[in-house]
Amino acid sequence: MSQKFAAPKGMNDLLPPQIEIWQVLERTARELFGTWGYSEIRTPIVEDTALFVRSVGEVTDIVSKEMYTFDDKGGRSITMRPENTAPAVRAYIEHGFAQQPVTRWYYLGPMFRYERMKTGRYRQFYQLGAEAYGSADASQDVENIALAWHYLKAIGVQHVSLHLNTLGDSSDRPKYLEALKAHFAPHVGTFSEIAKETFERNTMRLLDTKDEALRSLVESAPSLSEFVGEAAKKHFDEVKALLTALGIPFVIDPKLVRGLDYYTRTTFEFIYEPPAGDNALGTAGTVCGGGRYDNLVHELGGPEKPAVGFAMGLDRLVLLMEALGKRPERRPVLFVATMEGELKVHAVKLVTDLRAQGLSVDFDPRGGKIKRQVERAAAVKARHFFVYGQAEHEARAFKIKNMDLPDGDPAKEVTVPLDALAAWLLNAAQAAPVTP
């Protein structure tokens, strides 16, 4: 009896042809982030559960309801990473990097959150993140933001704008919390159970609620910016001035608090603001979130080390690229039709030689009627085509057909000798590069 399976809910197979977009995003990231002095790290998929509870915070969406947590066979509670900042900080401390003055890292990989699925919201999703440790200076915040900005520019997504806020220092929080509590308190009776709990345990997170019933109350809530102390205010002014100097546009968004507990001072998001009628991301419009977290290294057992970082949602960027028609097309420069017997050996050898020279050349291992092999060449969108027959073998030359030109076009067919074939194909491949 055979049995059929489906991928787990909210976890996607990433397949051709869409995978081409993923590869562009990854390739661009590695090149750009490397150029900016960020080195790649790869941490395990699972970590000690306590690491996330301690860093992300108990009363966040992530820890309270989204984590894939289970006991392993040794009875330890482990969690599939819902984010990569805490694991990065763990590794930074564990391996002695915290002893060095400045460290810049990036990561790229799957994260796991048990979420309600919608467009752009999955249970296994991919983040590209960059973290910089060791400097409290505004230029470090801005470098990090500029990296995200230049990356989005490099991949060519549009209608994404930078939202910016400051959360002040942790010493600015108590007064603000008092004001916030006073604002919400008279209405708590009407709150949902979840909102009530958030009010009790982590009032600030109400600003980040997705509960529509609370919208107007959130809008009229006091702004953190009125409670930010002098030092954090000066830092924020420097951040804004530097962004302006770099020509990076931003909007100040006083209600931007972000969903994790560890942020201090600067927070930012890049949000997709679609032109009318476009809805590529539904309600999941934030493609990147980040900010400063000056206390986390110390809270996780390291020395006092200020830090700033961001995480981008690659799945959402792929959706945007797809909507913009930015999927590169990979086309073989040549398709070789084969005959049976000894001729097939010669043809396969030629295909292999050309491939070894870096040329994308295809053939149909099933062989068969030439007509069917032509169809196959068209199906894989080959640019050129020829038959490796007895006459071609003896003449050591091939009649190459340009698959993009109509029959009857004088340039449709050219004869190229075997000796000149690789150079001819290389030229043809360069004349029609992979987009973008």
Q: Please give the residue ranges that form the binding site for ligand ATP (CB under 6 A).
A: 83, 113, 115, 120-122, 125, 127, 259, 284, 286-289, 311, 313, 315-316
Distance CA 90, CA 95 (A): 9
- Collect all residues with Cβ–Cβ distance below 8 Å to 10 and sequence separation of at least 6: 115, 117, 122, 123, 124
Is the CB of 105 or the CB of 122 nearer to ligand ATP?
122
Beta bridge partners of 414: 400
Is the CB of 125 or the CB of 262 nearer to ligand ATP?
125
Is the CB of 46 or the CB of 380 nearer to ligand ATP?
46
Are 193 and 65 within 8 A, CB to CB? no
Q: How far is the CB of 311 from ligand ATP (least distance, A)?
A: 4
Are 321 and 327 within 8 A, CB to CB? yes
Is the CB of 120 or the CB of 134 nearer to ligand ATP?
120
Q: How far is the CB of 84 from ligand ATP (least distance, A)?
A: 10
Is the CB of 82 or the CB of 306 nearer to ligand ATP?
82
* CA–CA–CA angle 371, 374, 378 (5° rounding): 140
Q: How far is the CB of 194 from ligand ATP (least distance, A)?
A: 15
Is the CB of 158 or the CB of 415 nearer to ligand ATP?
158
Q: Which two tokens stand for residue 52?
A: 């996330």
Q: How far is the CB of 313 from ligand ATP (least distance, A)?
A: 2
Phi, psi of 227 (to 5 degrees): -110, 0
Q: Which two tokens stand for residue 34?
A: 């490397």
Nearest to 330 by CA among 380, 376, 377: 380
Distance CA 37, CA 106 (A): 10
- Collect all residues with Cβ–Cβ distance below 8 Å to 198 and sequence separation of at least 6: 59, 205, 206, 209
Is the CB of 113 or the CB of 401 nearer to ligand ATP?
113
Q: How far is the CB of 370 from ligand ATP (least distance, A)?
A: 47
162 membership: H or E segment, kind and range = strand 160-166
Q: How far is the CB of 195 from ligand ATP (least distance, A)?
A: 16
Q: How far is the CB of 260 from ligand ATP (least distance, A)?
A: 6
Q: Where are the alpha helices (DSSP H) in 185-295?
A: 193-201, 215-219, 230-245
Q: How far is the CB of 206 from ligand ATP (least distance, A)?
A: 14
Distance CA 196, CA 214 (A): 11
Distance CA 149, CA 151 (A): 5
Distance CA 146, CA 138 (A): 12
Distance CA 101, CA 11 (A): 39
Residue with nearest beta carbon to ligand ATP: 313
Is the CB of 120 or the CB of 302 nearer to ligand ATP?
120
Q: How far is the CB of 276 from ligand ATP (least distance, A)?
A: 22
Is the CB of 205 or the CB of 305 nearer to ligand ATP?
205
